[in-house]
A and B are shown apart, each in its own frame.
Chain A
Amino acid sequence: MNRFAALLDSLAYEPSRLGKLRLMTGYFRAVGDPDRGFALAALTGTLSFRHAKPALVRTLIYERIDPVLFDLSYDFVGDLSETVALLWPGDHDKSGSHTPRLAEVIATLDAASKLELPGVLARLLDALDETGRWALLKLITGALRVGVSARLAKQAVAELGGYDANAIEDLWHGLAPPYLDLFAWLEGREPRPRPHDSAPFCPAMLAHALTERELEDLAPADFCAEWKWDGIRVQAAVGIGEGGKIIRLYSRTGEEISAAFPDLTEMLARVPHARFSLDGELLILRTGRVQSFGVLQQRLNRKQVTAALLADFPAHIRAYDLLGLEGEDLRALPFAERRRKLEAFVAAAGVERLDLSPQVAFASWDFLAAARRDPAAAGAGADAAAIEGVMLKRRDSIYVPGRPKGLWYKWKRDPFAVDAVLMYAQRGHGKRSSFYSDFTFGLWRAGNDGDELVPVGKAYFGFTDDELRLLDRYVRNHTTNRFGPVREVTHMPDEGLVLEIAFEGVNHSSRHKSGVAMRFPRISRIRWDKPAREADRLETLERLIAD
């Protein structure tokens, strides 16, 4: 466990991608089986032991440390695992005692029942030093956050054998921790493990955000356009296993989410093809109309999949790419050709809950820009509210994992913006825990004694590091009240800071005092120049609500 903890610790401090790769490859080279395999599983998020909820970790520490002192510390440090690791009592001489290995830790956690987990975790924490405790808590709460993606970890392990991450990706879903066969192959001791998963995840191809300046250099005739749907990107994979059809729904990052969508797996089972893999958007459709992301969010938030949930939030896949069909890998074909195959596939499938994402015909960028501004008028009709822009895909683009340059672009609709007044600030978590970086802002409305500010949302990003420093200083110098970790900041008509808030949309909300909830709000500009009284009014936001 010590080597693994040291690896995580150094990864957390290593700023460069290359440096992180070197650290991981060095670790995989130096550490033996099965520990390194479990480390790879941890870094790629494929460990399956029972995770401890943060609440359990809190309970354990509250039994050992004055809760007031713990809460103050946690507020300051901003990271539960780190706070507990630092405060866990009894970091005495551990030289004589046995430090458990990573494989042992994982086996212990794997074997623990829900009832045993608190005791098991406490004993492990007792046996580890500060860094070890930190690493264990990161592991068991399922939040490593050391700036390493699953992809980067696969890249690092691939380098053992001089391969590319895609070489691992192709095998990945057929492998399991501690990956003895994978390491044996990479070190040239055994042949390549055979991918025996016939419904694997294909690493997704991603688009670059388009700037209007880039548009000048692109030729409209080289591209196809389609709507960019405001849902979640999914990959549906169907194959044949020993026990019959395998049906999987993957998230954009390759996480399997089939269990949450029985309505979709049932649909996929009825498609008259034994093996295929398609890329599309998961949406909620009610009587043929695409619902807003807010509605989809409600389904995603529910843990229990009940009959009522399935009836109220019917899921749907709007397909935009076909990656494989009947054992043939289509990813090397040009997009235009894949699109033709996709159209034929969807038409032949003839199932509900699956349709084709339509293409937007255009001859000039100006025409497409107009369609992007007003999708309803450009053929999207009632679905326009669920469109967040257009996608541009080069007709000749093959399907390349990752975010290759020059092939796919996303061209989002311009966000909405309002000028709001900063009201409260809270220390951030993680990397920003010493800064006031979570900002609550408000808009004016008529109150009993004249105009008053009502909080309408919170923003945590949109600003640069330099702006964050200025905001932090502003908060510290204009604090009028402190409530635990929250500071109230001057917000009067004549004294207050105006923030330009960009956001993607507004919904009704009964949970917010203002009655509205903004989607994806972020600070787009700090209006040092603007007097607080000239900030926008709540009515401005209410007019934007899309039902």
Chain B
Amino acid sequence: MAAADILTLKPAGLYCAAGDFFIDPLRPVPRALITHAHSDHARAGHGHVLATAETLAIMAIRYGENFAGATQAVRYGEALTISGVEVGFFPAGHVLGSAQIRLVQGRARIVVSGDYKREPDPTCPTFEPLACDTFISEATFGLPVFRNADAAGEIGKLLASQKLFPERTHLVGAYPLGKAQRIIALLRQAGYDRPVYIHGALEKITAYYQRAGIALGDVRMAAGAGALPGEIVLCPPGAINDLWSRHFAEPRAAFASGWMRVRAHARQRGIELPLVISDHADWDGLCATVEETQCSTLLVTHGEPDALVHCFRQRGLEAAPLHILGYGDEEAETPTETDA
């Protein structure tokens, strides 16, 4: 049985007919398997949702307890069968609870990567490469210009800037789910022991990470804490140039994102201190991962699929872009939580 028979593309997203479920559907469906809780993958209103306990918990924080008719938690590596299709969730290393989903039917194995990265991350388990026939990979940063810098080195830049401008508040734009908590954890790994301040939009998810056992040290709300000269304040990217930022002492605008690799992206947003820290695989990570899966067919979603498709066609794979309209990248759009 070919992979195409297991998964097809419908307007609502990737659909498995044999199991009658969707993966990361874009609109409400009766049954959904969800890779991770970023809003472009995890939407509210499905009949039944299967995901990791962490993903379900974060969805409940974002959308309210009744975000789905029914939910079912799955552990990494747990074997499940849905109408004859074997289903497994495996760490994707993207954010807390993020998973790749593997489907096996007969002899065909297909892996949907969700979003993933290969670098170690103190806030979530590391990506596990899975052997498969068809690999559906994201390619948010699917161009050879994207090479993630060493995250510790980027944190070093932030700390150096803090030393250089001890009178200025360092506002660090970071996505509220995953990136913000990873930055705090990286600061702690670098030995930074002052309080880290956060924007209100980061509060609930950060508290959830702490409850889940991720050590983040002394995290405080920026609201009501004054102008915070010399301190590090994390906020959603959209808040950097918001009215909100004017409370602070000569704020210095930093942004932690893979996009910071390209100058134009930093300049466009008025960023003075770009930090290349990404929760997505960079070009080398994408290429290595495709190799490791030993797949014969590669389908590419998200972002910039063309380069990866070109590259692996040359290496003899069947490769094609998979245009799923509506999958943005959680990093490209300014999250709506900014106003929270």
**Known A-B contacts A12-B267, A68-B310; A87 and B144 likewise in contact (beta carbons under 8 Å):** yes
CB neighbours (8 Å) of B311 from chain A are: 66, 69
Contact at B268–A431, with CB atoms within 8 Å?
yes
Contact at A432–B310, with CB atoms within 8 Å?
no
Judge whether B306 is part of the interface by a CB distance below 8 angstroms: yes
Q: How far is the CA of A83 from the CA of B145 in the complex (A)?
A: 7
- Nearest-CB residue, chain B, relative to A16: B272
Judge whether A374 is part of the interface by a CB distance below 8 angstroms: no
Q: How far is the CA of A69 from the CA of B309 in the complex (A)?
A: 10
Judge whether A415 is part of the interface by a CB distance below 8 angstroms: no
Contact at A65–B144, with CB atoms within 8 Å?
yes
Judge whether A77 is part of the interface by a CB distance below 8 angstroms: yes
Contact at B262–A77, with CB atoms within 8 Å?
yes
Q: Would you list which residues of chain B between 238 and 275 have a CB under 8 Å from chain A?
A: 259, 261-268, 270-274
Contact at B144–A69, with CB atoms within 8 Å?
yes
Judge whether B307 is part of the interface by a CB distance below 8 angstroms: yes
Q: How far is the CA of A24 from the CA of B143 in the complex (A)?
A: 34
CB neighbours (8 Å) of B271 from chain A are: 13
CB neighbours (8 Å) of B143 from chain A are: 69, 72-73, 76
Contact at A69–B307, with CB atoms within 8 Å?
yes
Contact at A76–B262, with CB atoms within 8 Å?
yes
The bracket for how many chain B residues form the interface is: 20 to 34
Judge whether A14 is part of the interface by a CB distance below 8 angstroms: yes
Contact at B270–A15, with CB atoms within 8 Å?
yes
Contact at A76–B145, with CB atoms within 8 Å?
yes
- Nearest-CB residue, chain B, relative to A465: B268
CB neighbours (8 Å) of A431 from chain B are: 264, 267-268
Q: How far is the CA of A114 from the CA of B84 in the complex (A)?
A: 69
Judge whether A253 is part of the interface by a CB distance below 8 angstroms: no
Chain A 1-41 near chain B by CB (<8 Å), digits 1 or 0: 00000000000111100000000000000000000000000
Query: How far apart are A6's CB and chain B's nearest CB, in angstroms?
Result: 12
Judge whether B304 is part of the interface by a CB distance below 8 angstroms: yes
Q: How far is the CA of A78 from the CA of B263 in the complex (A)?
A: 10
Q: Would you list which residues of chain A between 68 and 94 have a CB under 8 Å from chain B?
A: 68-69, 72-73, 76-79, 82-83, 86-87
Contact at A77–B264, with CB atoms within 8 Å?
yes
Count A-B pairs with CB separation below 8 Å: 65
**Known A-B contacts A13-B272, A14-B272; A77 and B145 likewise in contact (beta carbons under 8 Å):** yes
Contact at A86–B266, with CB atoms within 8 Å?
no
Q: Could you tell me the dominant secondary structure of chain A's interface residues?
A: helix
Q: How far is the CA of A83 from the CA of B268 in the complex (A)?
A: 17
Chain B 141-160 near chain A by CB (<8 Å), digits 1 or 0: 00111010000000000000
- Most chain B beta-carbon neighbours within 10 Å: one of A15, A73, A83, A432: A73
Contact at A15–B264, with CB atoms within 8 Å?
no
Judge whether A514 is part of the interface by a CB distance below 8 angstroms: no
Q: How far is the CA of A433 from the CA of B143 in the complex (A)?
A: 15
CB neighbours (8 Å) of A82 from chain B are: 262-263
Judge whether A430 is part of the interface by a CB distance below 8 angstroms: yes
Contact at A73–B144, with CB atoms within 8 Å?
yes
Q: How far is the CA of A73 from the CA of B146 in the complex (A)?
A: 9
Q: How far is the CA of A432 from the CA of B145 in the complex (A)?
A: 17
Q: How far is the CA of A431 from the CA of B310 in the complex (A)?
A: 27
Q: How far is the CA of A86 from the CA of B259 in the complex (A)?
A: 13
Q: Would you list which residues of chain B between 191 and 247 have a CB under 8 Å from chain A?
A: none
Query: How far apart are B90's CB and chain A's nearest CB, in angstroms?
Result: 30
- Nearest-CB residue, chain B, relative to A86: B145
Judge whether A297 is part of the interface by a CB distance below 8 angstroms: no
CB neighbours (8 Å) of A69 from chain B are: 143-144, 307, 310-311
CB neighbours (8 Å) of B264 from chain A are: 77-79, 430-434
CB neighbours (8 Å) of B307 from chain A are: 68-69, 72-73
Query: How far apart are A326's CB and chain B's nearest CB, in angstroms?
Result: 49
CB neighbours (8 Å) of A78 from chain B are: 264
Partner of B263, one of A73, A79, A87: A79
Q: How far is the CA of A73 from the CA of B145 in the complex (A)?
A: 6
CB neighbours (8 Å) of B304 from chain A are: 72, 76
Q: How far is the CA of A83 from the CA of B146 in the complex (A)?
A: 10
Q: How far is the CA of A434 from the CA of B145 in the complex (A)?
A: 14
- Nearest-CB residue, chain B, relative to A70: B144
Q: How far is the CA of A430 from the CA of B306 in the complex (A)?
A: 22
Contact at A13–B267, with CB atoms within 8 Å?
yes
Q: How far is the CA of A431 from the CA of B259 in the complex (A)?
A: 13
Q: How far is the CA of A431 from the CA of B306 in the complex (A)?
A: 23
Q: How far is the CA of A12 from the CA of B268 in the complex (A)?
A: 11
Contact at B145–A15, with CB atoms within 8 Å?
no
Query: How far apart are A117's CB and chain B's nearest CB, in angstroms?
Result: 25
CB neighbours (8 Å) of B145 from chain A are: 73, 76-77, 83, 86-87
Q: How far is the CA of A107 from the CA of B198 in the complex (A)?
A: 51
Contact at B268–A13, with CB atoms within 8 Å?
no
Q: How far is the CA of A20 from the CA of B54 in the complex (A)?
A: 46
Query: How far apart are B267's CB and chain A's nearest CB, in angstroms?
Result: 5
Chain B 278-319 near chain A by CB (<8 Å), digits 1 or 0: 000000000000000000000000001011001100000000
- Chain A residues proximal to chain B, CB less than 8 Å: 12-15, 65-66, 68-69, 72-73, 76-79, 82-83, 86-87, 430-435
19 contacts between A and B (CB under 8 A): A12-B267, A13-B271, A13-B272, A15-B270, A66-B310, A72-B307, A76-B262, A78-B264, A79-B264, A82-B262, A86-B145, A86-B147, A86-B261, A431-B264, A431-B267, A432-B268, A434-B262, A434-B264, A435-B268
Given known contacts A13-B266, A69-B307, A434-B265, what 16 new A-B pairs fall within 8 Å (CB)? Answer: A12-B263, A12-B267, A66-B310, A69-B310, A72-B304, A72-B306, A72-B307, A72-B310, A73-B307, A77-B145, A79-B263, A86-B147, A430-B264, A431-B264, A432-B264, A433-B265
Would you list the 9 A-B pairs with minimal beta carbon distance, nearest first? A433-B264, A86-B145, A73-B145, A72-B307, A73-B143, A68-B310, A431-B267, A69-B144, A69-B307
